[in-house]
Amino acid sequence: MADSGATSAPKPSSSVKLVLLGEAAVGKSSLVMRFVNNDFQENKEPTIGAAFLTQKCNLPTRTIKFEIWDTAGQERFASLAPMYYRNAQAALVVYDITKASSLQKAQHWVAELQRQASPGIVIALVGNKFDLASANPASDTSTGGDDADATATAEEEEDVDGESDARKVPTKTAKAYADEEALLFFETSAKTGLNVAEVFTAIANAIPETSLKGPRGVGGQTNLGRQEDSARVNLTGANVQGPKEGCAC
């Protein structure tokens, strides 16, 4: 989008193809909807095939226009996935922190991406549904209209019983895996919006300058480093205060 209008000096802008992968019902579409429309829907219908959306991400030195390909998560649709991650410069591999199997699936996707996708692809591992993990009984009741869904989702896991924390994937496990594979790592909540924008900002920053096909691909390399740093700070900060945020809303 060259018409980033509002800014006085037009920043260099470039488009980035980003694909979302992950098991069914981990919240891929919800993440995108939160990022693009800042909106959240309970009981979203499953994505059939794929959806395409765009959203701009403003960095200090440039504007990145994300072309987001949101894919269907069900195993059955796996044969369609290569069409979507072909030529993608970034991938968001999403899992559900309340479902251990979804991390395995995410790892499969990461492996497949590393094997099949374009070599320089930036992969972010995202654990979604953070709101469920931090939920304690008190906050559950305070969520009002949402808690029906929260409990419903909690019931999906067999062993959840009375525990307030539905988390099944410890942050450490996923973080260790992400570090091992050199992935960006975030825990998000599409429902509360926690960390959602940060994921995309971090991806935007991690896209190497050279792989940008925008009109003018010049940007401050030093700035890039600084940005990434701040993102990292942000991440840890958010992680620390995560539970509080969950409570607050």
Piece in contact with another protein (CB under 8 A), picked from 3-11, 78-86, 112-120, 229-237: 78-86
Q: Which parts of 114-153 interact with another protein (CB under 8 A)?
A: none
24 binds another protein (CB under 8 A): yes
43 binds another protein (CB under 8 A): yes
CB 83 within 8 A of CB 21: no
45 binds another protein (CB under 8 A): yes
Piece in contact with another protein (CB under 8 A), picked from 47-55, 189-197, 217-225, 240-248: 47-55
CB 227 within 8 A of CB 59: yes
Among 4, 11, 53, 118, binds another protein (CB under 8 A): 53
Q: Around 75, how many Cα atoms within 13 Å sit in the side-chain half-sphere?
A: 5
Min separation Cβ 75 and another protein, Å: 8
Min separation Cβ 101 and another protein, Å: 10
56 binds another protein (CB under 8 A): no
161 binds another protein (CB under 8 A): no
Amino acid (1-letter code) at residue 70: D
100 binds another protein (CB under 8 A): no
241 binds another protein (CB under 8 A): no
Residues lying near another protein in the complex (CB under 8 A): 24-25, 43-54, 67, 72, 74, 76-77, 79-80, 83, 156, 158
